[in-house]
Amino acid sequence: MSLGGSVAKLVGVMLFVQVILGGGSTVLRFPAAYHLVWGTLTFVALAVATFLLAKDHGTKSRPFLAAVTSMLDFVVQGLLGLASFGSAIMIVVHLANAFVLAALVTWLVVLVSSVENRITE
């Protein structure tokens, strides 16, 4: 497995932790700083994965395009998160977009796995 594929899979796990921290900050009153810092680290990991996927598979490959799409939605997610401070409606929109982001990152992991399985066969 390539390094880019490994980092992309790590992003999937990091995003899962991000959802737990976000729910914890909303429901269990964890400090929102944990959610914000972990989200920033997750975005950095996604940026690294995107760079590595471009290097490994090219900028016209499906895994790279899925990573770029995930990055764009992650930026939207961050902006929605910042807008959600003090607004219950924006929290719901932020949560709904979290499902979209999770689907995009899952698609990224599936694409990376399928491309790398084809290469090794």
Q: Give one DSSP letter per residue of 70-103, joined into a string.
A: HHHHHHHHHHHHHHTTT-HHHHHHHHHHHHHHHH
- The CA–CA distances, whole Å, from 111 to 25, 29, 44, 61, 66 equal 32, 36, 20, 10, 8
Domain range for 72 is 3-120
The pTM assigned to this predicted structure is 0.89
CA angle, 104 as apex, 103 and 108 as ends, to 5°?
115
Instruction: Evaluate if residue 117 carries a pLDDT over 90.
Output: no
> How far is residue 13's CA from residue 17's CA, in Å, rounded to a whole number?
6
What's the structural domain count of the chain? 1
pLDDT tens digits along 42-94: 999 999 999 999 999 999 999 999 999 999 999 999 999 999 988 889 999 99
